[in-house]
Amino acid sequence: MTTGTNWAGNLTYGASELHEPRSIDELIEIVRAAPRLRALGSRHSFNTIADTDGAQVSVAALPAVVEVDQDARAVTVSAGLRYGELVERLDQQGWALPNLASLPHISVAGAVATGTHGSGDRNGSLASAVAAMQMVRVDGELVDVRRGDDDFDAMVVSLGRVGVLTSVTLDVVPTFEVRQDVFEHLPWSALEENLDTITASAYSVSMFTDWSASGPHQVWLKSQAGGAAPTELFGATPAEHGVHPLPGVSAEFTTQQLGRSGPWWDRLPHFRLGYTPSDGEELQTEYLVPRTHALEAIAAVRALAPLVQPLLLVSEIRTIAADTLWLSPSHSTDCVALHFTWRLDVPAVTAFLPTLDDALAPFAARPHWGKLFETTPERLLAAYPRLPDFADLVARVDPDGRFANDLTDAWLRP
Ligand SMILES: Cc1cc2nc3c(=O)[nH]c(=O)nc-3n(C[C@H](O)[C@H](O)[C@H](O)COP(=O)(O)OP(=O)(O)OC[C@H]3O[C@@H](n4cnc5c(N)ncnc54)[C@H](O)[C@@H]3O)c2cc1C
């Protein structure tokens, strides 16, 4: 028996059973009874982070809640909702989330647990918008934690180790419109000389590249409506029709471009709900490096281009603001993220990952917890100095390791 595969299909879960409770009481019973349990989100992680040799539990069937508290400027949502399922309901009430990832298909709890992020110099990770959480702890107790509580900063990017989230309260801002403009063919020299200006040129900026000598083939600018987009971007020119980051793939799968304003939820992600995001046949890896090392890290990957390119579908370069969450890849420092969408060739990509890690290690690069990477315990500790503190917390709240799996054990108890 198996509970199926992850979204990319590169993993068949080893879990023997998938529980899908319809009430919190039912969830509590499941947590109390299961010797080993992992929460499962929308299955979009590429590694075994959501897997277990016990049972999985999904909270997607709990009653859907989207409840705005206008005074607190916050929305409480059921943890298993996908962002795409809540954004329009929020917008209809006049509110927005500060940012979204490249796709709206992922669950709130799953995204928050791995420190998932979008882009924008002043935009923190999606986890940084978490103001409070309700969860079932390993002892079956239903608890609420909120920003400012002891251990809150430890518990948000949790890798699924602290409790099974039932609801998440997120900061909201007044709804806003976004226009999306794509520029093509940015020379590397322009990026090297003007990186900070380019990433500051819109609310959210993403650059796509295959690391070829000519430079990023696309720069996506997501600007808060009102401002005019530049007609030229350091040598890059406006795209004349909608594009997909992957050459040859229809722009129908992507959010509206060509400078047409629209709701935040329909422009901040690159990909549209209801369509396959990205390629679909792929693996992913991502490292976040402190902004001070951005150009060196980009140069290091460019030097690997002959090895990267045969494995690659596309790379994305974006920025994330610092937050205070212990295991967040953007903990305490503004970051530039270097993302790799690989071909679905598990042996070849797996063989290359240590080389990529070697190249980025000098820059205190932090791997994305939900994507594929091969590093050493020493490097992981250098990148995430609060790991031992988090391991201590986990030992306190889950002394028997019932919410652990092999991967989290390797990270927390190397
Ligand atoms: C096409 C594609 C595009 C992507 N784009 C981005 C991007 O733009 N930015 C980015 O940062 N990442 C991106 N990712 C990675 C993705 O955001 C993360 O892997 C995210 O964690 C997936 O969330 P999920 O709901 O699928 O969770 P899963 O992969 O199912 O689980 C991830 C973790 O969340 C935990 N979890 C799930 N539900 C709960 C719960 N109720 N309580 C406690 N823990 C829980 C699991 O135990 C596990 O540890 C992308 C992935 C794909 C496939």
Tell me if 339 CB under 6 Å of ligand 1.
no
Q: Which long-range contacts (CB under 8 A, 24 or more apart) does 373-378 make?
A: 373/47, 373/285, 373/287, 374/350, 377/414
Q: Which of 44, 65, 273 to mutate to test the pocket of ligand 1 (most atoms within 8 A of CB)?
A: 44
In contact, 176 and 224? CB cutoff 8 Å: yes
Per-residue pLDDT averaged across 61-71, rounded?
97
Q: What are the tens digits of pLDDT across the range 146-188?
A: 999 999 999 999 999 999 999 999 999 999 999 999 999 999 9
Residue 318: strand pairing partners: 206, 337
Give the closest residue (by CA) to ligand 1 atom 11: 116
pLDDT value at 1 more than 80: no
Residue 106 lies in a domain: yes
* Domain assignment present for 99: yes
**229 lies in a domain?**
no
What integer best gives the mean pLDDT of the chain? 96
* Per-residue pLDDT at 108 exceeds 80: yes
Ligand 1 near 107 CB (within 6 A): yes
| Per-residue pLDDT tens over the stretch 225-280 | 776 777 889 999 999 999 999 988 889 999 999 988 999 999 999 999 988 888 88
366 ligand 1 Cβ < 6 A: no
Structural domain boundaries, residue 111: 66-174
CATH number, domain containing residue 126? 3.30.465.10
**What is this structure's pTM?**
0.97
Locate 304 and state its tokens.
């690997």
CA neighbor of 224 nearest in space, from 262, 186, 271, 173:
262
| Any domain includes 116 | yes
Residue 241 lies in a domain: no
Is ligand 1 within 6 A of the CB of residue 160?
yes
In the block, residue with structure tokens 């001070």: 292
Asked if the structure places residue 159 within a domain, the reply is yes
Q: Which atom, in ligand 1's list, is nearest to the CA of 116?
A: 11
Q: How remote is the CA of residue 114 from the centroid of ligand 1, in Å?
A: 6
Q: State whether the beta carbon of 57 lies less than 6 angstroms from ligand 1.
A: no
First vs last Cα of the chain: how many Å apart?
Answer: 30
Which protein residue has the closest C-alpha to ligand 1 atom 22? Answer: 44
Specify which residues 170 forms β-bridges with. 75, 130
Q: Which residues contact 359 (CB under 8 A, 6 or more apart)?
A: 300, 301, 303, 304
pLDDT at residue 280, as a whole number: 87
- Name the residue of 6, 18, 38, 45 to mutate for ligand 1: max ligand atoms within 8 A of Cβ: 45
Phi, psi of 299 (to 5 degrees): -65, -40
Question: Is residue 26 assigned to a domain?
Answer: no
Number of independent structural domains in the chain: 1
Classify residue 234: in a domain, yes or no: no
SS3 assignment, position 86:
helix
At 315-372, the pLDDT tens digits run 999 999 999 999 999 999 999 999 999 999 999 999 999 999 999 999 999 999 999 9
